[in-house]
Structure 1
């Protein structure tokens, strides 16, 4: 019976789906699984997210499996994984120092890119399970794998597929039989045999990560108390829902849609001092109740307590839309006119029916923009709507454009003494203002594209759509733009407002060079690296 003790138990978050996310964003594909028998836990998560397994591409299916704590057997049976003793899905790999600490000896191999991959050479089954950080449910495996059960390395351009195999053998010296489960990330044809290095025909000469695990049926009852249920990560849910989720049902009437908007915006316009978390919780609760008490709301809305809403709301018909200047996943920005002045108008995309969640997130951004008053923050002018989809935020307009575009055109004309220092100080003051809020507000997407310039080159921080107060539930979400994001955000670890300081440092490098981050990065053979390689180095 195996025993496994590591650290004190904690709830686990599966965050090792970042490579799959990057491969998906790079345009890679993988064969989808069409005939899997999904466990109840996995099906429940799909139902909660309003996703259909068969609608997901192969890469996304793999991400959801791993993020939910599952892998596949050689016969495509879905097998559950439990991290042990406080580890999580993101850190199941056994480090070399722990591998050696149990008495195991490794073999070194050189990969195609001249980096090193490792695998077990001398290591019996008892030593291996003593180093393991995970357990898997029992299953039948007749694949007779002959590869290593602990490996490091990997091909950065390969889409990993988590496959659990059982390594069954009899030690020739001790005559003891062993049975050790291991999670592999490539198929058998791309793995080297035990004690050998991969050839160029196997995984293009790269190793592959393999994680040893205990089998539940061979664990002691005491060891089983260390098993932790996996809690799927929010960022993977958000990724999949935004890409493949079904559209939320339309409001029962345009009046009902307006009611939801008004409910969401009351704390914004009334000058509420609630924290972001309070606002999010309240807005969800109120939105759910809004349609049930439409007449009551209309009476309350006209009351004196909401007079600020009347002051801040702009008649929609008084706004003129001239031309669109940018478009994102969920929103777009127009140049227009209001009350005789040129303005920027931000709204949700008009080419589709937006979900209630989209409206809610946008309303939170409006709240932040309305309440953050600082010389180096964009000036909030007002809010307007006439339908659920036509909720707009009116902001000051910057003809000079953003810092990124300005540097591309005018970097040779700027000096630190005359221009750059003032821009840097202005951005620093805006960030300091955000961090001085209670709780500290983290921008989470600080970059040159989100810094606008006035005609006098005064910087103004914009885009508070992903900004959040420093609270537990929001401080592990993967957000922002990768090249400007701190490693802890890319790895979805706990982070604080210091991540904005990292991003500010990247902005300073842009100011200094006039170039995008990593513009001069090269591979060992002198080629331009792909974004995934750069981000892997940042995380490493």
Structure 2
């Protein structure tokens, strides 16, 4: 093969290599962007039909809302594992970010303030734990209807056996202590909500004994304060709020236990957390790959071009061309 065909083939190989590697790098960056972009859905409304508490807290955080910091005696390992690579201390995060991180990682807060592990059932995510009213109706529960300040009709469960309610539940909560459970009179399920609220992740144990002797205990996540949560059988003075009933971890079958899913957290929440990265390692080196490859490609072309041209001082015989004098 002559020099020029060899040079052309080499340039073609280098070009294909450059295009392939650059395309792979750009595809990786595009995949990261699509999976971890911060929420931008203007149609999202926190109205009690979704348990996407993390997104609502992000919306309120961006709007300028604040909340007291959450002080945990023990930060859950799953939460720490998300923060450690970013060199973030949980206690330094804003209150709403702390709350969103806990929920997104599968935790709610017990009356004593400790973070309690949650699991999901049937493949649901933490954003999909709100039980539709139709399911609660199928569980043979009754309701009271209330009207919010925005004239929207919302519902609270009124009469319902504990096992009927948990039959349509989508979550399981680890055991926790609730000293006020015996005297607590609240409602296990509700929808509705203030679109401008910053939801809480407050756990309560709904425990009672029916007149016929059956005893029940249902763990419920309440998204509003105790002061704003109406007593059983009454409507709130303002907006309603989402309530999410869950199974107790110590009261499920082995079959159900084997089917539990442990929340791992959303990519977009990790992206949000990166804003609080206290290290210098937040730069994505993948972004340099196209630049580096471009430099190598240009350098290779220069070398091949310079090596492919005969010097003016060189002999033409060096390039395999007969001298006119030899022909003569």
Q: What is the aligned counterpart of 1:231 among 264, 269, 275?
A: 264
Does the 8 Å CA contact 2:72/2:115 hold for their aligned counterparts? no
Q: Alignment partner of 1:231: what SS?
A: coil
Q: Give the Cα–Cα distance (whole angstroms) in 2 for the partners of residues 71 and 42 of structure 1.
A: 12
Q: Which structure is larger by alpha-carbon Rg, 1 or 2?
A: 2
Q: What is the aligned counterpart of 1:246 among 278, 291, 298?
A: 278
> Would you say 1:216 and 2:249 are equivalent positions?
yes
- Structure 2 counterparts to residues 437-448 of structure 1, below 5 A: none
- Structure 2 counterparts to residues 456-535 of structure 1, below 5 A: none
Alignment deviations for residues 185-225 of structure 1 (CA, whole Å, 9 cap, x no partner)? 112111000111012xxxxx111100000011000101112
Q: Give the Cα–Cα distance (whole angstroms) in 1 for the partners of residues 53 and 303 of structure 2.
A: 49
> Would you say 1:265 and 2:298 are equivalent positions?
no
> Would you say 1:60 and 2:92 are equivalent positions?
no
More strand by share: 1
> Would you say 1:169 and 2:169 are equivalent positions?
no
Does the 8 Å CA contact 1:137/1:216 hold for their aligned counterparts? yes
Q: What is the aligned counterpart of 2:188 among 140, 149, 154?
A: 149
Q: How many residues are matched? A: 252
Q: Give the Cα–Cα distance (whole angstroms) in 2 for the partners of residues 171 and 82 of structure 1.
A: 28
Query: Which structure has more RCO (C-alpha within 8 Å, separation ≥ 6)?
Result: 2
- Structure 2 counterparts to residues 450-461 of structure 1, below 5 A: none
Report the CA distance shift for 1:307/1:179 in structure 2 as closer, same or farther (over 3 A).
farther
Does the 8 Å CA contact 2:205/2:219 hold for their aligned counterparts? yes
Q: Alignment partner of 2:155: what SS?
A: strand
Does the 8 Å CA contact 1:34/1:54 hold for their aligned counterparts? yes
Q: Which runs of 5+ in 1 are unaligned?
A: 1-12, 200-204, 252-258, 271-299, 309-540
Alignment deviations for residues 480-517 of structure 1 (CA, whole Å, 9 cap, x no partner)? xxxxxxxxxxxxxxxxxxxxxxxxxxxxxxxxxxxxxx
> Would you say 1:304 and 2:304 are equivalent positions?
no
Alpha carbon RMSD of aligned pairs, Å? 2.6
Q: Give the Cα–Cα distance (whole angstroms) in 2 for the partners of residues 238 and 26 of structure 1.
A: 18
Does the 8 Å CA contact 2:107/2:115 hold for their aligned counterparts? yes
Q: CA deviation at 1:122?
A: 1.5
Does the 8 Å CA contact 2:120/2:126 hold for their aligned counterparts? yes
Q: Which runs of 5+ in 2 are unaligned?
A: 1-35, 37-50, 305-328
Alignment deviations for residues 245-271 of structure 1 (CA, whole Å, 9 cap, x no partner)? 1141599xxxxxxx998644134x38x
Report the CA distance shift for 1:307/1:171 in structure 2 as closer, same or farther (over 3 A).
farther
Which residue matches 2:64? Answer: 27
Q: Alignment partner of 2:135: what SS?
A: helix
Q: Give the Cα–Cα distance (whole angstroms) in 2 for the partners of residues 301 and 260 of structure 1.
A: 17
Q: Give the Cα–Cα distance (whole angstroms) in 1 for the partners of residues 240 and 302 of structure 2.
A: 63
> Would you say 1:195 and 2:233 are equivalent positions?
yes
Q: Give the Cα–Cα distance (whole angstroms) in 2 for the partners of residues 306 and 184 of structure 1.
A: 67
Does the 8 Å CA contact 2:111/2:177 hold for their aligned counterparts? no
Q: Give the Cα–Cα distance (whole angstroms) in 2 for the partners of residues 171 and 20 of structure 1.
A: 37
Q: Give the Cα–Cα distance (whole angstroms) in 2 for the partners of residues 61 and 68 of structure 1.
A: 11
Which residue matches 2:85? Answer: 48
> Would you say 1:80 and 2:117 are equivalent positions?
yes
Q: Give the Cα–Cα distance (whole angstroms) in 2 for the partners of residues 50 and 234 of structure 1.
A: 17
Does the 8 Å CA contact 1:266/1:306 hold for their aligned counterparts? no
Q: What is the aligned counterpart of 2:199 among 145, 152, 160?
A: 160
Alignment deviations for residues 363-420 of structure 1 (CA, whole Å, 9 cap, x no partner)? xxxxxxxxxxxxxxxxxxxxxxxxxxxxxxxxxxxxxxxxxxxxxxxxxxxxxxxxxx
Report the CA distance shift for 1:61/1:307 in structure 2 as closer, same or farther (over 3 A).
farther
Q: Alignment partner of 1:223: what SS?
A: helix
Alignment deviations for residues 415-470 of structure 1 (CA, whole Å, 9 cap, x no partner)? xxxxxxxxxxxxxxxxxxxxxxxxxxxxxxxxxxxxxxxxxxxxxxxxxxxxxxxx
Q: What is the aligned counterpart of 2:137 among 100, 111, 115?
A: 100
Q: CA deviation at 1:35?
A: 3.7
Which residue matches 1:17? Answer: 54
Q: CA deviation at 1:103?
A: 1.0
Does the 8 Å CA contact 1:71/1:78 hold for their aligned counterparts? yes
